Each structure stands twice: as C-alpha cells, then as structure tokens.
C-alpha cells in the first residue's frame, strides 16, 4: 500500500493532470476490462488452492483413520504378526508427527520418508502370516485392504505437500497485480489524497488475496497449515490401548 502511494506521488510529479484528464473515459473502460480479467484469475487461483488445501486435510484424516483401523483389525491375527504390526503402527505415528511433519513444514519432504520403511515392515509382517482357515483368513484379507488404503493415503499426503502453483502462473499473478494497481495512476483525480487512498486500498486488497494464495499453496509450510490433530488423536488412542493391554496382561499374570 505504501509503495503504491509512493509510486503515485512520483507519477503525478512527472505527468500533469491535464494530460490524464483528456483520457479519463478511455482509461476507465480499459481498467474495467483489465480488472475483470484479473478478478477472474484471482478467483480461479483462490478456488484451486483452497481445494488443494481441503484435499490435503482429507488425506491426513484418512491416513490417520486407516492407521487406527489397521491397528484394531490385526487384533484378530495371531502373534507374532499382531504384535509386530501394532508396534510398527505406534512407530509410524511417531515418525509422522515427530519427523515427517517437521520436514513437510520446512518444505524438505522430497523422498518417501522414514515412514515408508515402517510400512514395508508392516507389509512383510502381514504377508508372512497368511492363515489357511476362517475366521483368521477373513481378518487377514481385511488387514491387507486396510494396509493398502493406508499406503494410498500416505502417497496422497506426500503428493499434496509437493503440489504448488506453477511458476508461470505465479508470474502472471504478480505482474497482473502490478498492472492493475499501476493503471490506477492513469486516472485524473483532482485530490491527491483521494487518489492515493483508492490506489492504496486497491493495492492492499490485492496484496491480501495474494497472501492468502501464497499461504494456502503451501498447505504444510504456510502459517495456515493442515492440522496434525488426526495423528495426535491416533497416537493418544494407540497409547491408551497399549497401556490397557499391558495392565490386563499384568493383572492376568500376578506372578
């Protein structure tokens, strides 16, 4: 806003008001057309980044839910598969919250991450325990399905953390903002205070929309981030279930 007002002061010092007054009607039609085009562009980009943000939030919630469902599903499988998968699930949620989330928040999550190794261990544990009789076989198939859904949700989360607006579109957004605000200089307004006020307000409105776009575009890196609450809830539930199982085991074996 300050830059737009300062630029206006310099422009009015170079170009006389009489020159601008002669083309006020033409400038008005031109700015109306340019502003409409830029408004459509801004609305489109805001819609896109908001949709991507909501999709990323959905992927996180789905991944956390699938992990919890897998943890509960393998309860029907025999040991050591059950214990191995459930221990891997607890390590997985810790890795996501304590390591991967921090990496995504700094834009450093480029590879599959440490969680991929834990997922591989889960796959190996489940594949190595294929039962031959019901109902264990039905539980085994359900565990495979849950594990597959968990892997897909994880891939979607990582892909959403890497998805950003193309550079060419970013250039178009910022050059369009400069063009629209700069076009306000071409109006012949007698009062400099009024001219500066409307120019600065337009610049402020556009700047705020651009900030929202920039922040939502980095759904894990911006100030308005996808919440990590679903994984925190799952970690609390897994910890509570593990504590309850330990207490039950100790109570059932007093020796």
pLDDT in tens, the chain (255 residues): 999 999 988 988 888 777 777 777 788 888 889 989 999 999 999 999 999 999 999 999 999 999 999 988 888 888 888 888 889 999 999 999 888 888 887 766 556 677 888 899 989 888 887 776 777 788 888 888 999 999 999 999 888 888 888 899 999 999 999 999 998 888 888 888 898 999 999 999 999 999 999 988 888 887 888 888 899 999 898 888 767 666 555 655 555
Token code pair at residue 240? 């509570």
Token code pair at residue 141? 């198939």
Q: List the one residue out of 182, 206, 168, 196 whose CA is nearest residue 38.
A: 206
By residue count, the chain amounts to 255
- What pLDDT is attached to residue 102? 83
pTM for the model stands at 0.80
- What pLDDT is attached to residue 204? 94
* Residue located via tokens 């830059």: 3
Question: Residue 194: which residues within 8 A CB-CB, separation 6 or more?
Answer: none
Task: Answer positive or negative: Cα dihedral of 204, 48, 163, 174.
Answer: negative
**Helices 114-127 and 81-95, axial angle in degrees (round to 10):** 170
Q: 245 with 134: CB under 8 angstroms?
A: no
Question: Residue 187: which residues within 8 A CB-CB, separation 6 or more?
Answer: 20, 24, 27, 28, 31, 195
End-to-end Cα separation, the chain, in angstroms: 75
Token code pair at residue 15? 């170009």
SS3 16: coil
Token code pair at residue 219? 């759904």
Q: 240 with 123: CB under 8 angstroms?
A: no
**Cα–Cα distance between 112 and 90 in angstroms, integer?**
19
**Cα–Cα distance between 244 and 157 in angstroms, integer?**
31
**Cα–Cα distance between 133 and 137 in angstroms, integer?**
6
- What pLDDT is attached to residue 62? 94
Query: Cis peptide leading into 56, omega within 30 of 0?
Result: no
**Cα–Cα distance between 186 and 189 in angstroms, integer?**
9
- What pLDDT is attached to residue 50? 92
- What pLDDT is attached to residue 213? 92
Q: 139 with 76: CB under 8 angstroms?
A: yes
- What pLDDT is attached to residue 199? 92
- What pLDDT is attached to residue 242? 67
Question: Residue 140: which residues within 8 A CB-CB, separation 6 or more?
Answer: 77, 126, 129, 130, 131
């Amino acid at each position: 806003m300050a830059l737009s007002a300062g630029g206006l002061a310099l422009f009015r010092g170079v170009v006389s008001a009489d020159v601008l007054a002669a083309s006020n009607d033409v400038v008005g039609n031109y700015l109306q057309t340019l502003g409409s085009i830029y408004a459509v562009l801004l609305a489109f980009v805001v819609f896109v980044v908001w949709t991507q943000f909501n999709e990323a939030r959905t992927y996180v919630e789905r991944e956390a839910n699938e992990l919890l469902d897998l943890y509960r599903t393998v309860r029907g499988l025999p040991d050591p598969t059950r214990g191995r998968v459930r221990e891997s699930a607890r390590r997985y949620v810790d890795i996501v919250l304590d390591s991967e989330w921090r990496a995504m928040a700094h834009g450093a999550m480029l590879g599959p991450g440490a969680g991929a190794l834990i997922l591989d261990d889960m796959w190996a544990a489940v594949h190595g325990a294929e039962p031959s009789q019901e109902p264990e076989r039905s539980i085994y198939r359900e565990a495979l399905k849950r594990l597959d859904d968990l892997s897909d949700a994880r891939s979607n989360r990582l892909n959403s953390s890497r998805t950003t607006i193309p550079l060419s579109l970013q250039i178009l957004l910022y050059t369009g903002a400069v063009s629209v605000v700069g076009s306000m200089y071409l109006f012949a307004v007698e009062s400099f205070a009024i001219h500066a006020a409307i120019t600065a307000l337009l610049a402020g409105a556009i700047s705020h929309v651009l900030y929202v776009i920039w922040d939502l575009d980095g759904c894990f890196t911006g100030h308005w981030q996808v919440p990590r609450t679903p994984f925190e809830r799952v970690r609390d539930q897994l910890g509570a279930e593990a504590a309850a199982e330990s207490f039950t085991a100790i109570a059932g074996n007093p020796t």
